[in-house]
Structure 1
Amino acid sequence: MSRQPLLNRQSRVIASRLTLHLQQGASMHDAANTLSALDDIWPRSQKPIFISCGRAACDAGLLDWSAPENAAIELAAATLLGPNGPDLIGALQTWQPTVCLVFDPKAAQALAVDVPFRFIGFDARHFTVGQLKLLATRTKSYGMGIAFNIETAEDFRACVDTGITAAAGWFFTKPSKVPAKTLNPAQTNIVRVLNLVRKNADVQDIEAALKHDVAMSYKLLRYINSAGFGLSCEIQSFRHAVSMLGYDKLNRWLSLLLATAGKDPMAPALIYTALLRARLMELLAVGLVDKSEYDNLFITGAFSLLDTLLGVGMEQALDAMRLPDPICDALLGNGGRYQPFLELALSSEGEAGEVIAEQASMLGLTADQFNRAQLQALSFAEAMEL
């Protein structure tokens, strides 16, 4: 599976889209079995998860999967009106999963079918902004309008201005400004604290540095006490955090804090994505590297969008920190033992299923292991969202 986030007008991720990449000869029954096997770790939040069959033709076999309440199955209008349409419509009427009708030239006929649609999906690559505005208005009574495959920030803004509820794509991960040459004061202070933690400085020295920025201290404690961390008691102070977690774990959360210190208008989606990449890389590496390196892989993923988040070049961002060479090598594209994990995490955001399969195989990962890690990372990012 690969994925796309769906953003609302405030640039917050309010849903996800998973695309299924079937092996040659695989059927929708196989896809249903694969999805069923993931039920125990399926994200149970209120955020919808759209399921696209990608290049495969969806049929009633997919409905062998008892879809969770937050799952929305994407169906092209042509599929509902094709030769297998009657069987599919009958199955939809029986099992009543949430359906997103993907708008195509036959959509007008499909809307007359006796199947309720909660969402109407539009592939933004096939419509102008003017067409989207008109279609969103005309189909509003049938379901909420969703746009897929948005490629630029300008297209995203234009899309949500048409009345579309949410838009999916990775447009926000591309830097929108000329990189600055230096970090701003808030970012510099976090880096100073990070470097103190990395060299195991005295707790009093670290606390003194934190007191220079009360907002930073507050944010740090919020992250540590978030649901994603899963602690059994509330951390009340930095000294308490050190005693409970140790310096290695604090290094991880300070790294997340640095990733939130930017002013990019797309910051909510960027932070969500950085969190997801961080946890995904950590999970993919379980059993493949020494446990002592899990935090480094997490930080590699968290920092993979650092240049965009902070508005500086990646080299400038890394120059200010004393990071291990494998992290820097991966982030700068210089190879090293962490780069295959980063490349796989990035490929999961694309549409090339064969590339994902090849990269996962090179790491000795099965499709089930990769899919499970991806869903667990999705749940983590949602639990950590503040």
Structure 2
Amino acid sequence: MRIAIAGGGPGGLTLARILHRHGIGAVVYERDADRSARTQGGMLDLHSESGQHALTEAGLAGRFWSAARPEGEELRILDPAGRMLLHHRPQPSSVAGRPEIDRSDLRDLLLDSLPGDTIVWQHRLVAATPRPGGGFALTFDDGRTTGCDVLIGADGARSVVRPLLTDAPLSTVALLAELSVGDVDRRHPDLAALVGPGNLWCLGESRILAAQRLGDGSLRVGISLPADGVGLDAASDTRALLAGGPGLGAAPDTRTLLDMFRGWSPRLTALVEAADGAATMRRIETMPIGTRWATRPGVTLIGDAAHLMPPVGEGANQAMLDAAELAAALAANPADPDAAIRAYEETMFRRIGPIAEMSARVQVMMLTPTAAADLLRFFTPEPAG
């Protein structure tokens, strides 16, 4: 049984690792030229019931805790004047929470746990075609081809494998401008103190200025905006941000970004002014809640390819749990992969529905005029009794 996994993100690598532990071989086809070809993004908080559980199934829990940063759980929520609205501090040396780990460290941890020939780099899948006798013919962007008996799409938001199972559309729910500030302790100690060891959210009307501290001493800064521009004032030039079509317009300059935060405390807007280089613009897209498909022999999806949700803390966790559950099903029934896929999909569909609904609510909540009050209620526990 030749298993092909399209995509070497957290889900695809976790799947390959757990299959390897069960003695089941798989090949991961990854578009990057090598592990250091591009930055992997910010931090992830791994949840005990999903991401951490998957790493336990992968035999990597100890190595995860060696690389994790429990202090990264700290969260500060401020208003535009810079006043602290909420300050969550994790318990010292706690192993019961949701510790953060840099995406690059998680990827390295998973890559180092796999045989060297598991990952086939510089192979971006562009087509997957059913073969008459079963399985799929795979075509890559440079014209190379290969085949497989079982195909698992772990290839993200714009999955090439997904159309084999569903034509669910993607919807843009927000826009994100990403910036980076390097060597922050030495170059910008005031910003290091402002953000702290974890996450900072500054909540205004229909916009968020956020930052998170990474293990390499840099800050990752994000500006979240409503996709339709509703709530942005006339002073905000959003033409470059709200360009039509699947792509985005040219990256806005610093002045354009700062115009969106007129009247905000200079302590906060300094995060934008200190950025190294231009912003990277991204669309935040989602699939319809409740997306399902009829099981098809030899193919399935995990992670964003299966259930693209807003990035509010569940995406990578659910991708890794998908991987653990699919690997367990295949290991339990290696002679009948189609039955294993069917069992995995039914479990996944039931699990993802309420999580997708919650994620959508949080995404809407974060970009409303009442975001600060709504999120404070969300993060404040109900009084006992």
TM-score scaled by length of structure 2: 0.27
Structure whose residues are more often helix by fraction: 1
Q: Which has the higher contact order (CA 8 A, sep 6+)?
A: 2
User: If you compute each CA radius of gyration, which structure gives the higher value, 1 or 2?
Assistant: 1
Decide which structure has greater strand share.
2
